[in-house]
Amino acid sequence: MKVLKFGGTSVGSAQNIQKIIKIISSHKTQNKHYPQQIMVVSAFAKTTNLLIEAADLASSKNNKYLAVLEYIKDIHLTISSQFFDTESQQGITKYINAKLDALAQILNSISHINELSPKSKATILSYGEILSSYIITKALQAHQIDALHKDARELISTDNTYTGASVDFKRTNQQIINYFNTVTAKIVVVPGFIAAAANGDTTVLGRGGSDFTAAIIAAALNVEVLEIWTDVSGMFTANPKLVKQALPIERISYEEAMELSHFGAKVIYPPTIHPVLQKEIPIHIKNTLAPKEKGTLITKKGNGKNLPVKGITHIENVALITLEGSGMVGIPGFSKRLFETLSAEKINVKLITQASSEHSICIGIDESNANKAKEAVDTTFEFEILRKKIRPLLVENHLSIIAIVGDNMKSHQGISGKMFRTLGKNNINIRAIAQGASEKNISAVIATKDVKKALNSLHERFFKDINKRLNVFITGVGNVGEKLIEQIHQQQEYLITTLRINIRVVGLSNSRKMIFDEEGIALNAWKDSLHKGKEASLKKFFETVKTLNLRNSIFVDITANAKVANVYGNYLKNNIAVVACNKIACSADYKSYNRLKKLSLQYNTPFLFETNVGAGLPIIATLNNLIASGDEIVSIQAVLSGSLNFIFNNFTEQTNFYDVVKQAQQEGYTEPDPGIDLSGVDVARKILILARESGMQLDLEDIENQSFLTPKNLKAATVDDFYESLRADAAHFNQLLATANKKNCQLKYVAELSNGKAKVGLREIPKGHPFYNLKGKDNIVMFYTKRYPEQPMIIKGAGAGADVTASGLFADIINVANK
Ligand code: ADP
Ligand code: ASP
Ligand code: MG
């Protein structure tokens, strides 16, 4: 014999009822005892909520309850019209109409007396299950299934609390056993949720209580299994509606399932587990919409696998009430009085924390009880409040409790550390923390707006075979930006399979337009989408990134714009990592560079700018590693301008300087204004950044810049003027080249840092020097350090170009994932 419970979502439509019939009929049993299956059914989807709404409207004399009632009728008539042939439909329609007429009368009288008693409320709520169980029995019978209907009010006895009634197990068990001993039908359909008090009044169990009805019957009859059929394939590692990566849990222990459901996994109603646990009846959670899937088996042992965290859950609509004051310290009885007050008001306590100083007690309760709690507690402590021994009760709303659950957490150290670090890294403020002594659960109170981010980031942290999602926001989609998007697009699959990193580009902006897509912008058509985007705004871009509030968010700046650089601080302060290709922030005044470095440290949020020096070459990372490992920089010598290197490599006696610079620009090796490269400013910025990263407090003015340009070149106001001046001063450049050639030297634009001083300038490099053979747009950096005193550490390779710069940015993005 087994008990199957079908939830509201499983009985929400004619198609789903068809599925249930298939499930029921496919169950072959050797069992000769009758009934072979007991079906407990919920109200049709949405009905219970609508009934509550109608009751509330009627009791406040709002006639809209009639429209709600019509809607309820419509749901039931639609389902039966789709399910039954015209003939049987007549009888069913009659039944539905009769029941809803009776309900209308009750609501009507409630609206007259303007009051809703718990007793009437329970009666009103019972209609959902009364109707659904009747219609489903008829549906089974219409399929020639030997099914019988049994009203749960004749089986389940409760006290007279009416809503959320307590079960009288002794009487209930006897009634169940007595009844089922006599049944000869194969299937008995029982409405869930509803019950009766000793005097026969209708009562209801708590919300979601059909699961409980099923468990009570299962335990009373000691059946082989209790199956809970719902709209998801089992109990998941987190609510699958909020965490896309959540996985079904194959096996779980009663205790774990209980903790998960207590903390919000409503896939099973928490009290359900008690009755079946005592008899060790397994609970199997299954998906009506996908019956072949395994689902979750809840048993005494679970699966014993050593995963410390089994699931992550949350409860919304939590208020935190805090009682505090010096008058509480060391005086017994305060908490007793506080809890007694809450209990007298029937306010359920969800979480408690008390500092060991006893200065304050902090309690999580349902938000709907917050006002009641405030009034009652302030009255209880009126005397102490008047004498300023304690403060009036502090109430904070819009909170949620998030909890991680697992039997094995107690034998693993550092779980709570991981939990809070993960929340902290994602800028989620924790208002209170509680850990049960059983260590099966660690809970934290956070703002409701952060719940989705918290669930997802914790889920990524605790379930190893889950992909870590990076949410990337790119501004600036010129040559480099375009390449970066192309590379991300191309590597997406590879990164998922090898590094378990799932990169999504969620926001894109150029100077005109911006677009966002929380699920990730389709990278094969981003140009079109961006073209149709909203008007770009730096401020709105930031605000959207902040409001989307996604975990592992990364802002990538691929512009050369000072205004963009100015907003990095805002991102860092919101724990949004910054990856910058833009050199401005790091080469601006020392104070603002230092501020960003400090913010990155303070908020534990990466600020990476590897591509500021040498494009994709790992120059800054190497420098950071040398210093972190205790080495000291003695001097740096470097050729850091791919553009200048390209220019001086191609400038020969057969070419002229003007043409070579033009070519460099056309091939994308210079800044849009080549004057910035040729004046040495760009190289000066780079050596400045290396100096700063070596620990020196330098500013751009401190860098000695010996320009090789003529005063005319330097004075040029526009790019065109600049080119003209290059043409006019050809003789000057030819002279520079001739002098070098005569000495068998190559011209290289070199940056140097030693003794705390930095300089940049054109140098004649003799044969044999590591710089001599530098080709094309290559860069080279030589680090002389305490550990590399004679033979420097050398990094060399292409130091300009969209492709390599994009790959440098890509590496920084991956590094954020690993931090
Ligand atoms: P039913 O109507 O079948 O009783 P419920 O809506 O009461 O269904 O419960 C199923 C829902 O529980 C799922 O649709 C899912 O959104 C939610 N849920 C919350 N947490 C979890 C979890 N950890 N695993 C599975 N489902 C969960
Ligand atoms: N219909 C009731 C509710 O919605 C009971 C249940 O579905 O379990 O709360
Ligand atoms: Mg439910």
Atom number in ligand 2 closest to CA 49: 4
What distance in Å separates the CA atoms of residue 792 and residue 782, rounded to the nearest whole number? 6
Q: Measuring from each residue's beta carbon to the nearest atom of ligand 2, which residues come in under 6 Å?
A: 7-8, 42-43, 48, 128, 192-193, 207-211
pLDDT the model gives residue 408: 80
Buried b (16+ CB within 10 A) or exposed e, 616-639: bbebbbebeebeeeebebbbbbbb
Bond preceding residue 35 cis, omega within 30 of 0? yes
Query: In which band, very low, low, confident or very high, does the pLDDT at 202 lie, cut at 50, 70 and 90?
Result: very high
Answer yes or no: are the C-beta atoms of 191 and 129 closer than 8 Å. yes
pLDDT the model gives residue 464: 67
pLDDT the model gives residue 381: 93
Residues whose CB is less than 8 angstroms from the CB of residue 403 and which lie 6 or more positions away in sequence, other chains included: 259, 263, 264, 312, 313, 314, 441, 442, 443, 444
What distance in Å separates the CA atoms of residue 315 and residue 403, rounded to the nearest whole number? 9
pLDDT the model gives residue 358: 66
Ligand nearest, relative to CA of residue 248: 1
Check whether 779 has a pLDDT greater than 80: yes
Check whether 91 has a pLDDT greater than 80: yes
Check whether 361 has a pLDDT greater than 80: yes
* Overall average pLDDT of the 617-640 stretch: 94
Query: In which band, very low, low, confident or very high, does the pLDDT at 359 lie, cut at 50, 70 and 90?
Result: confident
CA of 183 to the centre of ligand 2 (A): 26
* Overall average pLDDT of the 522-546 stretch: 96
Query: Range with the lowest mean pLDDT among 83-97, 370-384, 432-446, 686-700?
Result: 432-446
Atom number in ligand 2 closest to CA 209: 8
- Of 201, 188, 130, 195, whose CA–CA distance to 165 is shortest? 195
* Overall average pLDDT of the 293-307 stretch: 83
CA-proximal residue: ligand 1, atom 4 (nearest): 7
Q: Is 812 in the pocket of ligand 1 (CB under 6 A)?
A: no
The H-or-E segment that residue 24 falls in is helix 14-26
Ligand nearest, relative to CA of residue 206: 2
- Tell me which of 260, 267, 312, 402 to substitute to probe ligand 1's pocket, judged by most ligand atoms within 8 Å of the beta carbon: 267
Q: Is 241 in the pocket of ligand 1 (CB under 6 A)?
A: yes
Query: In which band, very low, low, confident or very high, does the pLDDT at 721 lie, cut at 50, 70 and 90?
Result: very high
Atom number in ligand 1 closest to CA 234: 25
The pTM score is 0.74
Query: In which band, very low, low, confident or very high, does the pLDDT at 328 lie, cut at 50, 70 and 90?
Result: confident
Atom number in ligand 2 closest to CA 7: 7
CA of 268 to the centre of ligand 1 (A): 7
Query: In which band, very low, low, confident or very high, does the pLDDT at 181 lie, cut at 50, 70 and 90?
Result: very high
CA 456 from centre of chain: 3
Report the mean per-residue pLDDT for the chain.
92
Q: Is 311 in the pocket of ligand 1 (CB under 6 A)?
A: yes
pLDDT the model gives residue 574: 93
Altogether, the residues listed in the chain come to a count of 819
Among all residues, which ones are annotated catalytic? Answer: 686
pLDDT the model gives residue 438: 67
Q: Is 235 in the pocket of ligand 1 (CB under 6 A)?
A: yes
Question: 3-class DSSP state for residue 633?
Answer: strand
Q: Is 231 in the pocket of ligand 1 (CB under 6 A)?
A: yes
Label the pairing between strands 534-535 and 553-557.
unpaired
Ligand nearest, relative to CA of residue 42: 2
pLDDT the model gives residue 298: 95
pLDDT the model gives residue 306: 64
What distance in Å separates the CA atoms of residue 509 and residue 511, rounded to the nearest whole number? 7
CA of 41 to the centre of ligand 2 (A): 9
Check whether 304 has a pLDDT greater than 80: no
Give the end-to-end CA distance of the chain in Å, rounded to a whole number.
54
568-627 pLDDT per residue, tens? 999 999 999 999 999 999 999 999 999 999 999 999 899 999 999 999 999 999 999 999
Residues whose CB is less than 8 angstroms from the CB of residue 474 and which lie 6 or more positions away in sequence, other chains included: 481, 484, 485, 505, 507, 508, 509, 556, 558
Answer yes or no: are the C-beta atoms of 125 and 118 closer than 8 Å. no
124-146 pLDDT per residue, tens? 999 999 999 999 999 999 999 99
Query: Range with the lowest mean pLDDT among 92-101, 671-680, 747-756, 787-796?
Result: 671-680
* Overall average pLDDT of the 526-554 stretch: 96
CA-proximal residue: ligand 1, atom 1 (nearest): 7
Answer yes or no: are the C-beta atoms of 283 and 273 closer than 8 Å. yes
452-491 pLDDT per residue, tens? 999 999 998 888 667 889 999 999 998 899 999 999 999 9
What distance in Å separates the CA atoms of residue 189 and residue 210, rounded to the nearest whole number? 12
CA-proximal residue: ligand 1, atom 27 (nearest): 239
- Tell me which of 42, 76, 203 to substitute to probe ligand 2's pocket, judged by most ligand atoms within 8 Å of the beta carbon: 42
